Structure 1
């Protein structure tokens, strides 16, 4: 019994340490960006030795990858809950915009841009397929459902439509600082996407 309890206690401590490091790294990235982040400051804030950071995360990029995976999973769960309610294409795209802009508000523009930069970086530590990203998988499936129901033109490519829409959202958020202008652009992005998808 004791032999089984010890490994699980060690694993619980390991996960707690990893979580402290992740939290300290997020705070440091918000302040300084990934490039300017100080590993010593992260380790000190997490209450661990310098080498412990590298035991859990081989690089600062790996911290962002972990954060991206967690947040994408959280957003996908919220989006999936939304899709269980009554909705149409416009409210679906609006809901996704709200979820992405909510992430930017929580992280701040600097960390949000760092995550997107790493996501699209050719030097990203792990290469993913689009099917590894649950948010885009859900949006593709929703466009395919709408196409099957006759709401979307039969020749619409769900993957490309979902990808272009999300790229548009990211583009607005990373290049436009004025809140009013951004809101207008995001509203127009949704309405343009819907017009392009719907059967006329």
Structure 2
């Protein structure tokens, strides 16, 4: 039996400091947007020195990247729990919409839009493979499952369709202002995506 490794006191303090900086940065980003926040404000709110901020996060974008990773993992866990129950492809796509909207509600439109912009930015601090994004992985697997069950056309490319669908969701939520119009567009997006995938 392998013994559990406990973090040392120094490592625990390092993690606590990182969490404090992350929490302070998110609060500042919600208030003023990432571009409008100076590192001075973050370190003052977190009660740390400038050097401590840069030890944990080379740039403000890296803070946002950390937030994006955590939120994507949380959303993916919720989506995975949903997929464990009985559902159809339309239900799965509708659940993705609800989960992404929940993210927008928690962080507010300005911070949500900055997260989306960073997600698709060609200059994001670290390049990643699509398999590093658990929501895409789950959605691709769900389309593959539906295809294997004969509910989706055999020539459908699950990856492309998953990405196009998520781009549509992010686009509607980022660009639209009127909640009713966005609801209608998101419902149409789910319906048209399902129609495009089905065997005719």
The 2-side partners of 1:34 and 1:81 are apart by: 32
Once the two structures are superposed, the pairs formed by residues 22-171 of structure 1 within 5 Å of their partners are 22-171=22-171
TM-score norm. by structure 1 comes to 0.95
- State the Cα RMSD in Å: 1.2
The 2-side partners of 1:122 and 1:153 are apart by: 32
Q: CA deviation at 1:123?
A: 1.1
Specify every segment of 5 or more residues in structure 1 that has no aligned partner in the other structure, as ranges. Answer: none
Which deviates the most, 45-54 or 147-156? Answer: 45-54
The 1-side partners of 2:103 and 2:60 are apart by: 20
| Structure 1 consecutive aligned stretches of length 4 or more whose deviation exceeds 6 Å | none
TM-score norm. by structure 2 comes to 0.95
Q: In the alignment, is the contact (CA less than 8 A) between 1:28 and 1:38 conserved in 2? A: no
Specify every segment of 5 or more residues in structure 2 that has no aligned partner in the other structure, as ranges. Answer: none
- Structure with the higher fraction of residues in helix conformation: 1
Aligned length: 196
The 1-side partners of 2:188 and 2:122 are apart by: 30
CA offsets 1:14-33 (integer angstroms, 9 cap, x no match): 10110010010001111111
Which deviates the most, 95-104 or 25-34? Answer: 25-34
